[in-house]
Structure 1
């Protein structure tokens, strides 16, 4: 590769990196907010959310049957929409992150209370519901990044690029 092409690629990479440093956490926050609003809104309409039965069953188990199905779905939908709106707006992130922590505990609780339902595929492979819950581990990692932001953490650039 010629040195001028290499230098051009390095400058381009630096520009992209600079943009990512400035905007990636905001993009993560907004995209996560959109996911929570959409998935939360689906739960307001009976039979529309693919997670409806899993949500109702999990809440029934962790509340020992004290919360009926309809209020459980409405509460979950409202919590998810509030979290999503908080992430989208970017204000009140401290409260949003605390609500998100509670919600993520609920989202991941089927791993503990319904493992047979989530991993009943061949050789204990995850079912479709199990895959749905496992992908929520990404939400946990994203929430951790967003949570660092309200305390002032920032991505910064290094003065010297690191070689891959």
Structure 2
């Protein structure tokens, strides 16, 4: 008996199945590690003296001088990144992020003239940076939801 030639749809489904398998196997791990590297990279900019939107956050947190708070927030981000790199510490990273998010939201509330050109649709570059922080937080939550799976 001759085997029937595969339809184009069957071939596409087979390729799609392989692709999804690769994404399931490596996607979460790469996502977690890339977030870790990003947090370390952006966090280190602050203690190295590079201006970032964190200086905006430092002005909304009243536990120290803005200069001190920029350093604290920078090292805080480095700690988040290191914790994201090591799967057993992802919960620690999520906790550190959870503690940091109120400062991000507070910046939008206390400094809307600095975070928006036109509220609520046109953020300033500083506002865009803070929105990125919120997206990274939700991305980290997705990783946190998968840490019990073998592929994380």
Normalising by structure 1, we get a TM-score of 0.77
What residue in structure 2 maps to residue 49 of structure 1? 51
Structure-to-structure mapping, 1:1-164, within 5 angstroms: 3-46=6-49, 48-59=50-61, 63=62, 66-121=63-118, 125-150=122-147, 152=148
CA pair 123-23 structure 1, distance change in 2 beyond 3 A: closer
Deviation at 1:134, TM superposition (A): 1.8
Deviation at 1:33, TM superposition (A): 0.7
Which of structure 1's runs of 4+ aligned residues deviate more than 6 A?
none
> Structure 1: how far apart are the matches of 2:128 and 2:83?
27
Contact 1:37–1:81 (CA<8 Å) still a contact in 2? yes
Contact 1:37–1:82 (CA<8 Å) still a contact in 2? yes
What is the DSSP-based 3-state SS (H/G/I as helix, E as strand, rest coil) of the residue aligned with 2:7?
helix
Deviation at 1:108, TM superposition (A): 3.1
CA pair 38-13 structure 1, distance change in 2 beyond 3 A: same
In structure 2, stretches of 5+ residues that fail to align are none
Structure 1 stretch 85-94 or stretch 121-130: which is displaced more?
A: 121-130
| Number of equivalenced pairs | 147
Normalising by structure 2, we get a TM-score of 0.82
> Structure 2: how far apart are the matches of 1:140 and 1:122?
22
Deviation at 1:95, TM superposition (A): 1.8
Deviation at 1:22, TM superposition (A): 2.0
CA pair 135-72 structure 1, distance change in 2 beyond 3 A: same
In structure 1, stretches of 5+ residues that fail to align are 156-164
